[in-house]
Structure 1
Amino acid sequence: MTIDITPNSALLVIDVQKGFDDAAFWGPRNNPAAEENIAALMDAWQATGRPVVLVRHASVRPGSVLAPDHPGYAFKDFVEERRHESLLVTKTVNSAFYGTPDLADWLKGNGIGQVVVVGIQTNMCVETTARMAGNLGYEVLVPLDATHTFDLTGPDGLSLTADRLATATAVNLQGGGFARVVTTAELLA
């Protein structure tokens, strides 16, 4: 299956921060290949001169490993090493479109109509950003294998594994018409 990547397609790298390595805080995760796939996409985007946007979560929750005064706020080393000329957006909520500077203004100002969304967590900030991008009229591609998430417990003790949550995100995004779910290999082909 061929995927048409526009010359100015923006890679949105969501919340790939050291705090997400704290298994005691987050619990079990899925997709151990996520970081390798994110790095490969960052390398490909930079090699072709396409824009890369780094999004960082600045948590306002007390005790969060993603708080600006916590070491976990920093980008993971492989992202920091590839930072180069990337736009940096800082946010305190799930969507990168509610950050500083204004992502939608930047995309519009650069004539960008296609975004590829990768990062952490699949069912939280990645999914929320992808949904908003779809709502705003962008062509959205989500390589699910360049994301990861954690097991989660919801109402009445209902618990879902990270893999099941990622599957639900894929169904929500593509089935709901927000985005096309793809693989890293398809984007790199």
Structure 2
Amino acid sequence: MYTYSPDSFEKLSELLVERARSLGASGFSIHNEVISLETSMDSCGPVTWALVLHADAMTRLAGIAPPNATNILPVTCVVNPAAPFGNEAISQPGALAMSVALNWLDSALEHAICLGMHAYNYSPAEWLNLPEAQRVVPLEPYITDLQENWITESTDNVAPNQLVDAWPQLYDHDRLEAIMSNRGTLGTSSRALNFPSLR
């Protein structure tokens, strides 16, 4: 088991903030309320715990973790009634190293950001051309996708020989760009939320 200091999650949060910026996010939104990247990626933030749940689901669907295994990732989520969103992501002893976990979290983050772009009908190239203050990613499409495709009773109980067939669509910039390039002239991009202030 790999073990890490309690403050290791703070470093992980900082890395996720920088990665989100590099992927074109200036913030996230929930029900049109804009949340800064730093708050979103805090251990009690709404994005972090969703990413941890998604990364855990991916390790199971990839066959790395048995369906009922615990402590695969060196991060987990716990219920924290004092947290703004009721959950908190924390470090824990894990079978996988933090560097491996970061790769899973990075894939989950790119997927979340791409789903937000797609919800507003933007390709990654179009999104990156928006002013920074408008590149606020809606979180609802990602939460819905997790509930409908990644964290379900059926995906929790997939037989090992069916893992490939059960793998849901995982978006990245290249895949989303290809999908959006085929949309033709159908539809127009939705307005992106405007970040009140980046300072």
| Coarse TM-score class (shorter-chain normalised) | under 0.3
Say which structure is richer in helix: 2
Greater Rg over alpha carbons, structure:
2
Say which structure is richer in strand: 1
- What TM-score do the two structures reach when normalised by structure 2? 0.26
